[in-house]
Structure 1
Amino acid sequence: MTLKYILPVIAITTTAVSAEEYQLFTELRADHLRVSGESETVWSLNGTYFFDKKQTLGPLDQFEYINKVTNVGAAFSRFDGENFWSIGGEYFAENNLVISARYTDNAGSDATSVGIGYLISKDFIIRAQAAKPEEGDTSYRFSASYNHQLQGNDYVGFTAYTDDEFDQYGISSKYFASLGSDKFIAVGVSLAEQFDRSTWAANADYYFSKMTSVGMSYSKEDSYSLNAKHFFNQNWALEAGFASNTDNSDFKTYSLSVIGQF
């Protein structure tokens, strides 16, 4: 089984922004994989820097559905003695054009992708992307995302995508809402078709407060995950998770992340 980690660079800064606005997001993560008695740990380090402040929607890890801020990011991870890393970013121009690019090296096999998009409105964006692996043909992907704003910061977001030959396509949706008394919920679902094979997945996060949440996910392949996350202050959080499969209990993943937001 080949694991590919395309993760957004760690940046170092000591400048904090105001209480619930952030520009730099970093994560140090360890995933301990156990399969039929064998085990391996994946270490990863990633970060993204935004050129303007990102405003939270209540919880310290929830932001607007459609990002509209120029950013750069990169990541590094190591698995089974191999290195995986990537670097890329997005540029949002004043004329509403969006330019993106990413270079990825997966254990010596590299790939380059470039994209162009257009913000039709603050709630609607369309994109086209071309990806060229080191060996193989260029693939093309087209997508559109729409945000339907509800009361306050609540929203329902939708994203649809397809490749140029309609061999791979799908749709996903996310619902975020305040439940009052400093409690929130975020629910996501996705449906996809990949070379005549249908898949689906669902996830949900419940926030006891702006700083503490629990979540779970489940997929058509009977894979599931559980996680808990807590911010100890405005800048630092710890997240722990567990993942497995109901049909194959020999496969387990234990995860631990240290997250910094500044």
Structure 2
Amino acid sequence: MKFKFAALPLMLASAVVSAEQYNSFTDADYTSEDYGFAEIDTLSFQSQYYFGALETLGPRKEFNYILPVSNIYGGFDYIDYTGGDSDIVQIGGEYFTGQWKFFGELNDFDAGNSYRAGAGFLFTPNFLGEVEATKAEGNDTELWVRGTYNHQLSGSDYIGFTAQVDDDFDYRSVSSKYFTALSGGQYLTAELSLIDTDFSDLYWGGAVEFYFNENTSIGAAYDEAESYEFNATHFFNRNVAGKVAYGSSRDFDDLDVFSLGVTVQL
């Protein structure tokens, strides 16, 4: 019995040490889409910096469903397609003060600019409400109301929900993510999204990801349009990961989508 009590602090210390902390996340990705009659190649670079450390839930790329930490981010996409090319620049940020959240984003692309800005309130640490305005150049401003709720299960397990509706109630969406720690240092996530609009049929999509350990995972996704993807991620050390994915769609027999990327977390 004395041995068990003596070992308990060591076990707790080990659990604390195993959780990694990160402040910045940078991704460089290449994606090739071959439709048979046309090709699209995209090079993208995205980076985000948090002013407070984020703690992992076990896997190095899994964190809490709600992250109330101020951050800034930016990115650049270069798109080369059959007959031309284009680029997109994105900058944005989120600021948390007390229970309030304020955020904004600018996207600059060849056809013009788009903006989004809004405010949110953390009613509880597990429930965030937000109001957002979006404006694309040449279009009217749209208003959105969004709610995010995290239901904490045992340990680090959770199931999260996000619901969103526009000011005309002609666009409605809900998404959910489930995270659970399995035995033997393995983990599983499952995601589901539903989008219902007045202009199209109900859209649904889902994805699962299985973690062999904190470093390596494989995943698959499928949606209502009969598009699918298989992907894998591996961390070579605590900071650098490689990603690879392949996808296609039954609606486009000749479609092949291949992506390769690197993530750096510091």
Are 1:152 and 2:155 matched, yes or no?
yes
2:132 is matched with: 129
Are 1:233 and 2:237 matched, yes or no?
yes
> One-letter code of the match for 2:39?
S
Structure 1 position 37, deviation (Å): 4.6
Aligned residues: 244
8 Å CA contact 1:19–1:234 kept in 2: the answer is no
> One-letter code of the match for 1:55?
E
Gaps of 5+ in 1: 1-17
Are 1:245 and 2:253 matched, yes or no?
no
Larger radius of gyration: 2
Structure 1 position 247, deviation (Å): 2.8
> One-letter code of the match for 2:76?
F
Gaps of 5+ in 2: 1-17
CA separation in 1, counterparts of 2:112 and 2:180? 41
SS in 2 for 1:250: strand
CA separation in 2, counterparts of 1:195 and 1:90? 31
Structure-1-length-normalised TM-score: 0.91
> One-letter code of the match for 1:251?
L
CA deviations on 1:139-187 (whole Å, 9 max, x unpaired) are 1111001000011000000111000001111111110000111100000
1:92 is matched with: 96
2:191 is matched with: 188
CA deviations on 1:43-85 (whole Å, 9 max, x unpaired) are 0000100000000000000000011100000100011221111
Counterparts in 2 of 1:156 and 1:42: CA distance versus 1, 3 Å:
same
Structure 1 position 250, deviation (Å): 1.3
SS in 2 for 1:181: helix
Percent of residue pairs bearing the same amino acid type: 34
CA separation in 2, counterparts of 1:140 and 1:160? 14
CA deviations on 1:69-116 (whole Å, 9 max, x unpaired) are 00000100011221111100100012x110000000122410111111
> One-letter code of the match for 1:236?
V
CA separation in 2, counterparts of 1:135 and 1:170? 25
Are 1:83 and 2:87 matched, yes or no?
yes
CA separation in 1, counterparts of 2:147 and 2:40? 38
Structure-2-length-normalised TM-score: 0.89
8 Å CA contact 2:205–2:223 kept in 1: the answer is yes
Structure 1 position 19, deviation (Å): 6.8
SS in 2 for 1:72: strand
2:10 is matched with: none
Alignment of structure 1 residues 192-203 onto 2, 5 Å: 192-197=195-200, 198-203=202-207
Identify the structure with the greater helix proportion. Answer: 2
Are 1:207 and 2:211 matched, yes or no?
yes
1:167 is matched with: 170
Moved over 3 A (4+): none
CA separation in 2, counterparts of 1:185 and 1:201? 17
SS in 2 for 1:249: strand
1:68 is matched with: 68
SS in 2 for 1:28: strand
CA deviations on 1:207-251 (whole Å, 9 max, x unpaired) are 000000000000000011000100000000000001110232212
> One-letter code of the match for 1:158?
F
CA separation in 2, counterparts of 1:143 and 1:25? 25
Structure 1 position 136, deviation (Å): 1.0
CA separation in 2, counterparts of 1:204 and 1:129? 29
Q: Which moved more, 1:240-249 or 1:176-185?
A: 240-249
